[in-house]
Each structure stands twice: as C-alpha cells, then as structure tokens.
Structure 1
Amino acid sequence: MRKWLVSFALLVCSSVLWGEEVAVTDESLPRLPNPTPFQQEVLVSKCRGLILVGKQSELLSARELRNVEGLRVIDLDVPGGEERLDKKLRPLYLNQAITRPSLEEIQDTIRDYYRGYHRPFIIVEVPEQDVTDGVLQIVVFESQLGKVEIQGNTWTSTKRMENYLHLDPGQMINQQSLLSDLDFINRNPFRRADIIYAPGEKEGTTDVILHVDDRRPYRFYAGAENTGVPTTDRQRWFAGFNWGNVFGLDHIFAYQYTASYDVDKFQSHTGQYIAPLPWHHVFDVYGGASWVHLDLDEPSMDSHGFSSQLSGRYVIPFFLGLYLRQECVIGFDWKRTNNTIEFTDDFPTFGKNVNLTQFVFTYAGSYERNAYRLDFEGSFYWSPGRWVSDQTDADFESLRPGAKNHWVYFLASFSYLQRLPKSFSLFLLAEGQLSSQNLLPSEQFGLGGYDTVRGYNQREVSTENGLLLSGEVRSPALPLFSNIKRMKQVDAIQFLAFLDYGYGRYKKTLPFETKNQYLLGIGPGIRYTLEPYFTARLDWGIKLHKEARYGGGNTMVHFAVTGSY
C-alpha cells in the first residue's frame, strides 16, 4: 500500500507478527489420584454401550449398566455436543469386540476430538471395572484453570496483561482463545510474550504463566538513505522517535522528520498513533505534511508544492489457529496536494489544489510453519466522486491528464519465504495493481528503487496497472562481533542475491507516454544489524533493461543506515 508519507516499518499493524511458542509438558497436565490398575487385556466380545464420566465417583454400578445402549455422558462438558462425539466413536465400539488396541484407539479419538475444539488439557483413563454386561466406562477428566501469573514484565503493566487474557479461574482452558490473546499482546513491538502451562496447586487444575520479555517503551533514531526522486535529490536524512506505551495505555505513537540534504528542496513531518481496543480490535491513524521546492527555468511557474494526508484504519484480527492469522481492515484516506514531484521524475507538475478522498477495504493474513511462511494482502480502493471542494475532474486533470475524481483500483501482494538447509532461505514476492481510471501519481503503481526494482531510480515508472516479481536468495545471518567475549550486544550480517522484474501499463496513455514499460534488475545485497542500536542495508542493482530515459547509469546503489537508542 503506497502512501504519500514515510511508513513506519516498526509499527506496521498488519500484520504481520512474532510467532508464539507454547510450552506444554507432561507436568502441565492436571494432577489426579493414581487410578487403580486395570487388566492388561480388556476384552468385550460385543460392546453395546459406552459411558463417559467426568469424575471417577460417577461410575455406574453393575445394576445401572443393564439399561445402557449406545453413548451416555455423565457430568462431562462435551464441546460440539454429544451427538458429534458419538459419530466419531460409534464405529469403534458399538457391536464391536473391544481389545487393548481398539481401546487405545477409542481413548486417542476422545483426545483428538477435544484437541479439535482447542481443549487439549484432558486425561482419558479406563478404570478397573466389570464389563460382562458389554458396557465400557471411561473417565474423561478435563483440567480447569487454576491461576494466571504474569512474569518478567518490567515496563508493562501486570494488570493490563491480565486484562488482555480472557481467562477466569475455574473455567476450561480454550487454547485457541488463549493464543489469540497472546497474538494480540505481541502486536506491540516493544515486547514479546509467551505462554507456559504449569500444574496448578489444586488437583485437576492447570496454571497459565504469561512470560513477558519487554524493553523500555521508547526509541529515538536517526539515519540516512537514498530513497528520493532525482528532482528533489535522492539523498535524504531522517530522525524520529517511537513511544510504545503512551500515557500507560499501551498505545503507540511515532513521529518522523525527513528531508533532502538541501532541506529547501524537500522536507516532511509524519506521525502515527495506534490504539489497541479492549475488544481486541485496533484503531490506527496516521498523517503528515510535506513541502517541495524546485528551481525552474520558467520564473512565472509556481515552484513550491505541498502535500498532506490524514488516514484512518480500523483493524479486525482473526486468529484461526496456531499457524494462520488473518485480519480485515476498513479505512479512509484524505490527501491534499498541488504537485506530483514526490512521485514522478519524468514530468514534474505543479497544478491546482486537489482533495483526494477514498475508502479502503483490506484483507490480509499469514500462514507460517517451521519450513516456510506465506503472507498475503488484498486492498480495494474506491472513490465515489466529488463530495468536497477542490475535487472536480478539472482539478484532477491539472495534475494528471485523463484522471477523474472517481475510481476503483485493486492492489494485491503475495510473499513466500522458504527456509533452506544450512540456514539459507529463498524469498519470493509478487505484487500487482488493476485500475478503472487514470490515477494521480500518489495512487499509481510505482516501479524502481530499493523496495521494487533495484538498479533504477525510485519510482522510475509509475502506471495505473502493474506487476512486480522479485526473488532473493539469502545467506545465513552470521555474527560479526558477537563472538567477542566482552561484546554484550547481538549482531548479524547477511548476504543476498536478487532478481527484480517490474511491468507497468497505463490505463489511458498521453502523447508522450509509452503504453507498456518494464524494468529488470539483478545484483547482490547486504544487511547488517546490531541490536538494538544500528541497522544498515546496501543493494547494488544492475540494469538488465536500459533506455535513455532511465537515469542513473548502468548500475545504482541503494542504501540506508539507522542508528537508534
């Protein structure tokens, strides 16, 4: 999703998120009195009934067993209903001969059934009993929550962490609900939390321990990069801060100032505020303003431009299991500008003041296993037309001929990370956009630069419709200084090789535009981090497709360095 503003990589809501680790050991299971030993061989020639009880004291007497047919449940909460469980068990017991292997299969089926409803804390035991009547009794004991304990937190409120967990002592533990709470807690980049299960003080209970590894909830940083367009100079410097616990509310605020080395050419202020809500939704608002100034050959032309933006996003996360995370986002953008300088270098334009408004609907998610990770996102942008001032078709055409005040476009991305032997990895990325109208440059699909096709200027090509394909082979992350005995910080250096391809197609071409354009770049890159004080990236892009209009020579270096505290 492209913005007019500098994005905050540290604060991206969508997701994306640390994977949780849940430690479950045999000791975490509820403690029960040792069951009385039962026969090594349990054999029922023809089983006509199965009884599941929640307590050993609820076992039926021989006289009470005479009228039992099929499945009977006593003092036991069965998720999904007894009929659904019986459909799983009936082929295993009804009118069947029960042997030791088949008995173990019945027990495993009950355990798997409860796990399927995210309630894994059960003990399934077969007590010593008389089975001459053809009825088998099984004790299914489900652990209840003992107590919740918060450990390790230094900067995070214990009370707030407890409020994030939807747990009440004495209730059954729903693992999916608990992991969903954990996932929400870990949206804050200033902490990492994990769940540990431990045996409770009382018999039949399990304690939940939330271990929090947090750090001071503020960060100051400054750095330099070459992500600008040549018109305002590629080289830029920036400085800002992040506050990860605003007024003790667990909200996040970020601010950044960015400028070209000659601040008169370009400078911007951007801010973002993220508020996690009690019902586990997120409200995200961001905005800012920027100014540009060019020395034009025509003194009569206005050479000063501005842009401003205010956007809001309402994020609804969906936790669908240990591996799959999804979220829906509803948002709105307001943007105001009188130039296209920040987004294109071919034909920089100063025009009328234009108000751009649009609704945004996004679906995003990720799926991660040990060997790979998938991330996907699709966003639908819709502007219904004029409803505020400075929003006529003529206003839009002053900045982009053929642009209208109403449009629909769809932007999608898909990335895949494959972990390879020896800690190597393969990263693949595909992005694309389709539009119904000519768009202002801020909404066009930009190609060129460190984040799309390396070896070319930032946004060398900007079109309404486009496709980006990128692949990287990455080396293991290797320590550079961490092996030094007195070195307390952890550092890592990583090497990569990349191949980037971008294709752009204008919706309606202008006389000076080429309908279809493509970029192709290849080269090596390097990444370095010294936690939490320094990060750097460097990519050397080599153009494989050259045209006279593409600036920067045959190769181009893309870099960024950031120091933080």
Structure 2
Amino acid sequence: MLETAAFSKRIMPFIGHSLSFGQMQGLVDIVVGYYREKAHAFVTVSVPPQRVHAGVLRLDVLEYRIGALRVIGNQWFSDRVIRQQSGLSSGQVSTLDALQTDLRWLNTNPFRTVDMVYRPGTKPGVTDVDLRVADRLPLYVYGAYDNQLDPTLGRLNWDLGVSWGDAFHLGQTLTYQLQRSVSGRFTGHNASWEIPLTSRDALLVFGNYSVSYPVADQPLSNKGISGQASLRWLHMLPHLALGARFGVDGTVQAGFDWKSTISDQFSAAVPLILANAETNQFVLGFIGSVQDPWGKTEINNQIVYGPPGISAYNKRGWYETIFPNAKPNYAYDRLLLKRALSLPFGLTANTKFGWQGATHNLLYSEQLMIGGMGTVRGYYVNTSFGSRGLMASEEIDTLGFSLGKWIGLNALDDKNTLGAFWDWGDNSQVHPAGIGPRVVTLSSLGTALSSKINRHLNVSVDAGWRLRRAASRGSRGVFCDFNLVAGF
C-alpha cells in the first residue's frame, strides 16, 4: 500500500537529510495519516532502536487484528446470529470502510440496533470488539386503513399484517399482509421471506395473489386474478469513501419475476371474454445513497428485461389481450432519486425525481402509475399509466413539533410535520394504445401532515389541488389522501 507515487511524494522532503527527533515524529505522523486516509485506522507506527546504516531509517508498522469478539445487551437475538451476520472473526484485519459496511448490514433488521465498541486487547497488536445490541421482541402486528385503492374497486382499503424478524431463531424475516377493499371488490395476499446467507448477502423470496371485481357497465361483470412469485439475491457493497467528504453506500440486487394476469368480462347475454398473460423477467437493481457535505441523495434503479416464450402465455398475442401493442422481449429502466436538504428556520426541502424508459408498450404491472400518495397527490390512484414517464416533486416540511406538549398532554408523545408540496407527472405509451390521449400530464399543489403518536400510530394526510384536468376527473379541484397505520 505504501509503494505508490502519492506516498513517495509525501515523504520526499525527509529523504537525503539528517533528521531530528521532531522530524522523525513528523514522518511517523505522515505514515499514520496515509494509512488512515486509506481507511486503515487501527495501525501503530514507531521508530525502533536501530543503528542507521547507509542512510536507511526503519519504521515499524503494526496493523491491529481483531481479538475477542463479544455480543452484549441482546435479549431476543442469539449471539450466534449476531456474530454470523457481523462478518467479524478473531484474527481478522479490517478497515474502517469494511467495519462501517458490516455495521450497516447488522442494522438492516428493524428489530435491533447494533453498535461496535473497540477495546485494547490482551496481546500486542490486538483489538477486542464488543457488539452492543439493543433489540426488542422481533414481532410486529399492524393494521392500516386508507383510500389508496383504484376507484373501480372502491378506493377505501384496509390491511392486516404481521412481521417476524427472527424467524426460526435464524435471523430471517417473514412477513404476511392481507389487503381488502371496504367494498369487497378486492382481496389481496402479500408475503415475503428474507434469508441472510453470509455477512453481506441475503436471499429474498416474495409474492402476491389477488382477486378483484372492478366496476363495469351493466349488464357486464369484470373479474381479475393476478399473481406474482419473485426471487432476489441481495449483496451489500462495501462503503466507498470518495475523499474525506463524499461516500457511496448501497445494495445490488439480481433476480427473476414471474407474474400472471387473468381478466374476464362476462354477462348472461354476452360470451366470456378471456384475457390472460404471463410475465417472465430478469431484474438487476441498485438501492443506495450518495453522501456529501450538504446531505444525502437516495438512489433506486431497476433494469428489467422480459424475454419471450418462457411460458405458455408469455407471447405477443396474449399480451395484446391485456394491453394494446404490448409484447414480450422488452426492456425498461426505472430510476427514482430522493434528496433532503436542510433550510433555514429548521425547514427541510425534500426533492423527488422519477423516470422510466421502455422499448415497447408494457403490461399494466410494469407501467409507471401516477396519481395518489407517492406520485401526484390530488388525483385518484391509477389516474394514468404509462410505459414511459417522468415524475417530480418538491415538498418543504417544517421542523417536527408536538401538539401534546402544547396542550399539556405529554402522554400523547406525538411528533408532527407540516409540509407544502408541488407534484408533477407525465407518462405516455411507446406505441399508440387505442383511443384517448397518448401522453397524460398531471400536476398539483397542496399541503401534507405527517404524525407519529405513541410510536404505535402513524397518520399521513394530504390535500392536493389539481392544476390539470384528468379523464377520470373532468375538472380541477381538491382531493384528499389519507393513510392510518397502527402497529404493536
């Protein structure tokens, strides 16, 4: 590591000259500083007793190794699970970047927080490490109520879910969610299973199944059945320090999706109209962040390729029964960027940008949806779909405040944030898809409130004023979104 031009340039002023004791200490400091710049912080450099011959001064560099590894403070997660997922072992030489990545990986489980504390070892050149764990019962049960369902299914929706964060006492995470519309027109089941494999690798298996009965003009009836089974390999990349002020963290994903969509329309007088298509696609993604002196930019990029002919309904003819001019052998890229920036007076600017590009018209499940929370507020969910699209949002939020403290009700233990937002979205199809506009643009202005009460209740409410008309809503006006989640 020291045989580089950059290091040689730093020590060049000390070469060819006699050195005082102070100058030798300055040389030692340069060597230590260079190691630390390369994220090798656990190092000692000394000048041993010696007889300088032929102008050669010898420095001893001792890089510390991990000695004893203790897990303390854990009540629910076993020592074995914490050690295995830490990636640390006795005798290992580790850099600051590697330790930071190990710590991030340990803290991906939401039911625990782990910190690393370093202690002098019992032997020279050894550093002992304590993994201090603050964990809680790895079980979370929740219920939710919102109006974020497609209008043809009734809009109002409730969820029940459970998450087991130490499944089978192996540090795995199992989740299940039941979703149902108040109208009874939609029922969905979602499940996932995350299995840690090594200190920075995991396997994620997830899927869903739903049955819906969208509103149709009499005497017709609609029925839709959809399902998905997916597999992802997750790998956390090492922390990348770009100088002293910039850094990159992230996780890469690679996997496969199978999706099925069945849509029926029938009546007593009209024969059954059957639409059926299957999606088989490979996915490569990156989820991470870039840190800089002014904040952090979050990145989520997913690149997808869907080859044709893998299964019986994975063909162009079947695709066109679901969406006009859609076909397999497609590729698309979906990018989402988020940025938070601190402003004067405790305000925060939250910026979001989304983009999707595609080679062909896609099925509904792969299209970019705009309308509702997380996209363009003030419009119904699924107001517009597009195989290609752009989204942008800017929201200014206040510093968190407590209404409970204002009125003397400290037991409420609440934290609230008010915001003002501007949302914009534009999507289109690659090829014409029947009647109607090929490009749809939505935009809104509004206010939002986010509240956390007693760590058990989360409330999100927004009111968006539509700046552009949409086919589903023929005039401008205000629409309110809400989402309530209670969990224990």
Letter of the aligned partner of 2:150 in structure 1? Answer: V
CA 197–551 in structure 1, closer or farther in 2 if over 3 Å, else same: farther
- In structure 2, how many angstroms separate the alpha carbons of the residues matched to 1:391 and 1:311? 16
Q: Which residue of the partner structure matches residue 508 of structure 1? A: 431
1:431 to 354, 359, 362: 354
* 1:548 Cα deviation from its structure 2 partner: 5.4
Q: Is the 8 A contact 1:340 1:399 kept in 2?
A: no
Q: Which residue of the partner structure matches residue 478 of structure 2? A: 555
Note the alpha carbon deviations across 1:497-530, whole angstroms, 9 max, x for none. Answer: 1111111122112342212221111111011113
CA 287–169 in structure 1, closer or farther in 2 if over 3 Å, else same: closer
Note the alpha carbon deviations across 1:140-198, whole angstroms, 9 max, x for none. Answer: 44333331121211111112212223334344343332222212111111111111112
5+ residue gaps, structure 1: 1-79, 342-348
CA 87–457 in structure 1, closer or farther in 2 if over 3 Å, else same: same
Q: Is residue 442 of structure 1 aligned with residue 365 of structure 2?
A: yes
1:480-491 to structure 2, matched below 5 A, reads 480-481=403-404, 490-491=413-414
Letter of the aligned partner of 1:452 in structure 2? Answer: T
Q: Is the 8 A contact 1:355 1:391 kept in 2?
A: yes
* 1:463 Cα deviation from its structure 2 partner: 1.1
Q: Secondary structure at the match of 2:301?
A: strand
* 1:203 Cα deviation from its structure 2 partner: 4.7
* 1:536 Cα deviation from its structure 2 partner: 0.8
Q: Secondary structure at the match of 2:334?
A: strand
Q: Is residue 303 of structure 1 aligned with residue 222 of structure 2?
A: yes
- In structure 1, how many angstroms separate the alpha carbons of the residues matched to 2:53 and 2:198? 56
Out of 218-227 and 526-535, give the one that drifted further: 526-535
Q: Which residue of the partner structure matches residue 213 of structure 2? A: 293
Q: Secondary structure at the match of 1:272?
A: strand
1:132-171 to structure 2, matched below 5 A, reads 134-171=55-92
Note the alpha carbon deviations across 1:242-286, whole angstroms, 9 max, x for none. Answer: 0101110111011111111122x1111111111111252111111
Note the alpha carbon deviations across 1:436-471, whole angstroms, 9 max, x for none. Answer: 111111111111111100111112111111000111
Q: Secondary structure at the match of 1:319?
A: coil
Q: Which residue of the partner structure matches residue 111 of structure 2? A: 190
- In structure 1, how many angstroms separate the alpha carbons of the residues matched to 2:127 and 2:264? 61
Q: Secondary structure at the match of 1:176?
A: helix
Q: Which residue of the partner structure matches residue 538 of structure 1? A: 461
Q: Secondary structure at the match of 2:127?
A: strand
Q: Which residue of the partner structure matches residue 237 of structure 2? A: 318
* 1:238 Cα deviation from its structure 2 partner: 0.8
Work out which structure has the larger RCO, using CA pairs closer than 8 Å and 6 or more positions apart in sequence. Answer: 1
Q: Is residue 211 of structure 1 aligned with residue 132 of structure 2?
A: yes
Letter of the aligned partner of 1:220 in structure 2? Answer: V
CA 422–196 in structure 1, closer or farther in 2 if over 3 Å, else same: farther
Q: Which residue of the partner structure matches residue 102 of structure 2? A: 181
Out of 103-112 and 423-432, give the one that drifted further: 103-112
Q: Is the 8 A contact 1:85 1:113 kept in 2?
A: no
Q: Give the number of equivalent residue pairs.
A: 477
- In structure 2, how many angstroms separate the alpha carbons of the residues matched to 1:215 and 1:350? 52
1:187-336 to structure 2, matched below 5 A, reads 187-263=108-184, 265-278=185-198, 280-299=200-219, 301-321=220-240, 323-336=247-260
Letter of the aligned partner of 1:465 in structure 2? Answer: R
User: RMSD over aligned Cα, in angstroms?
Assistant: 2.8
CA 335–548 in structure 1, closer or farther in 2 if over 3 Å, else same: closer
- In structure 2, how many angstroms separate the alpha carbons of the residues matched to 1:242 and 1:251? 11
Q: Secondary structure at the match of 2:97?
A: helix
TM-score, scaled relative to structure 2: 0.89
CA 153–531 in structure 1, closer or farther in 2 if over 3 Å, else same: farther
- In structure 2, how many angstroms separate the alpha carbons of the residues matched to 1:304 and 1:371? 51
5+ residue gaps, structure 2: 242-246, 266-271
Percent sequence identity over aligned pairs: 27
- In structure 2, how many angstroms separate the alpha carbons of the residues matched to 1:137 and 1:483? 67
- In structure 2, how many angstroms separate the alpha carbons of the residues matched to 1:279 and 1:338? 41
- In structure 2, how many angstroms separate the alpha carbons of the residues matched to 1:317 and 1:152? 26
* 1:410 Cα deviation from its structure 2 partner: 1.2
Q: Is the 8 A contact 1:260 1:266 kept in 2?
A: yes
CA 184–548 in structure 1, closer or farther in 2 if over 3 Å, else same: closer
* 1:485 Cα deviation from its structure 2 partner: 9.5
Q: Is the 8 A contact 2:276 2:321 kept in 1?
A: no
Letter of the aligned partner of 2:188 in structure 1? Answer: S
Q: Is the 8 A contact 1:88 1:109 kept in 2?
A: no
Flag the structure with higher strand content: 2
Letter of the aligned partner of 2:205 in structure 1? Answer: V
Q: Is the 8 A contact 2:7 2:34 kept in 1?
A: no
Letter of the aligned partner of 1:229 in structure 2? Answer: D
Q: Secondary structure at the match of 1:228?
A: coil
Note the alpha carbon deviations across 1:90-110, whole angstroms, 9 max, x for none. Answer: 413211454677545422321
Q: Is residue 492 of structure 1 aligned with residue 412 of structure 2?
A: no
Q: Is the 8 A contact 1:350 1:399 kept in 2?
A: no
Q: Is residue 87 of structure 1 aligned with residue 87 of structure 2?
A: no
- In structure 2, how many angstroms separate the alpha carbons of the residues matched to 1:200 and 1:244? 33
CA 83–553 in structure 1, closer or farther in 2 if over 3 Å, else same: closer
Letter of the aligned partner of 1:434 in structure 2? Answer: G
Out of 542-551 and 522-531, give the one that drifted further: 542-551
Q: Which residue of the partner structure matches residue 28 of structure 1? A: none
Q: Is the 8 A contact 1:351 1:399 kept in 2?
A: no
* 1:384 Cα deviation from its structure 2 partner: 1.3
Q: Secondary structure at the match of 1:396?
A: helix
* 1:539 Cα deviation from its structure 2 partner: 0.8
Q: Is the 8 A contact 1:92 1:106 kept in 2?
A: no
* 1:418 Cα deviation from its structure 2 partner: 1.4
2:290 to 367, 380, 386: 367
Q: Secondary structure at the match of 2:285?
A: strand
Note the alpha carbon deviations across 1:215-243, whole angstroms, 9 max, x for none. Answer: 11001100201111111111111111101
Note the alpha carbon deviations across 1:67-98, whole angstroms, 9 max, x for none. Answer: xxxxxxxxxxxxx2556786255413211454
- In structure 2, how many angstroms separate the alpha carbons of the residues matched to 1:549 and 1:488? 44
Letter of the aligned partner of 2:210 in structure 1? Answer: S
1:463-482 to structure 2, matched below 5 A, reads 463-481=386-404
CA 402–82 in structure 1, closer or farther in 2 if over 3 Å, else same: closer
Q: Is residue 172 of structure 1 aligned with residue 93 of structure 2?
A: yes
